Structure 1
Amino acid sequence: MPAFRSARARSRALVPAAVLAGMFAVTGAMHFLRPEIFDPIVPRRLPGSSRSWTYASGAAELLLAALIASRRSRNLGGLLAAGFLVAVFPANLRTVRVVRRQPLPVRLIALARLPLQVPLVALALQVGRREGASR
């Protein structure tokens, strides 16, 4: 890959990173602003309180957002984000069970989140590889 990249190529490379960083910033903040939303989806097998896991997950998402937002740590942030998204997939599965008696739109949103994890992991890997390749 040439060392020189056009301004347009650099700006196109920033879009996936900005999307991913923004998503993690919003969801991470929500873990602190509305933890009661996330507590019920923490898998019961995990030791400790659901609230502790909710806060830890929110802190991890805010850290990922910061890593991805920084050009210097974007590669690491993207790779860690991919791992994080895979690690929290059991909570997304649990969400489907938790909302099974909720109105249909809520259940459909929970179900729709499952296949969306695949492109999110791919996006995180793309962000991790893109920055690593440009160095």
Structure 2
Amino acid sequence: KVRQLKIAEKQKSKATHVAAAVASRSPAVVTAKTAYKTGKATTSVLPKLIGLGMAGTGLAHFVVPQAFESITKLAFPENTREWTYANGASETLIGLALSNSRSRVYGLIGVVAYVGFLGRRVVQA
């Protein structure tokens, strides 16, 4: 049991580091960091497209939830449909925040928190 616990801890740690690394290299994240540091709103097209793409994917969770259930079941084996809708709502809100230059920093925070939460759930499942 001790060995299994150590393996689980290592996997959890790896998932957290991978999620943070992916989020930190995202074009939307880089742009949001620059906007935050300089205090200037950015009107770059790429963060808007990424945000709108994420928002569109979030809305798709409501239109075709069965398409996301097999993925969602990995992290949420119980109440999968409800979690599919919750994930869709989260992705929609985060995507909209990323697409707007004024709220991009909050979208960045949302992405990091969301990826961390999902990574933790997958490791725990």
TM-score grouping bracket, smaller chain normalisation:
0.5 to 0.7
Q: What is the aligned-residue RMSD (CA, Å)?
A: 3.2
Corresponding position of 1:51: 81
2:68 to 29, 34, 38: 38
Q: Is the 8 A contact 2:62 2:85 kept in 1?
A: yes
1:23 is displaced (CA, Å) by: 2.0
Structure 2 match to 1:20: 50
Greater fraction helix = 2
**CA offset digits 1:93-112 (Å, max 9, x no partner):** 9xxxxxxxxxxxxxxxxxxx
Identity %: 28
Q: Aligned runs of 1:1-16 on 2, under 5 Å?
A: 10-11=42-43, 14-16=44-46
The separation in 2 between residues aligned to 1:31 and 1:50, in whole angstroms, is 12
State TM-score, norm by structure 2.
0.54
Cα deviation 1:21-53 (Å, max 9, x = unaligned): 122112101101110011122246647411000
Q: Is the 8 A contact 2:48 2:100 kept in 1?
A: no
State the structure with bigger RCO (CA 8 A, min sep 6), 1 or 2. 2
CA distance in 1, matches of 2:98, 2:67: 25
Change (3 A) 1:91 1:19: farther
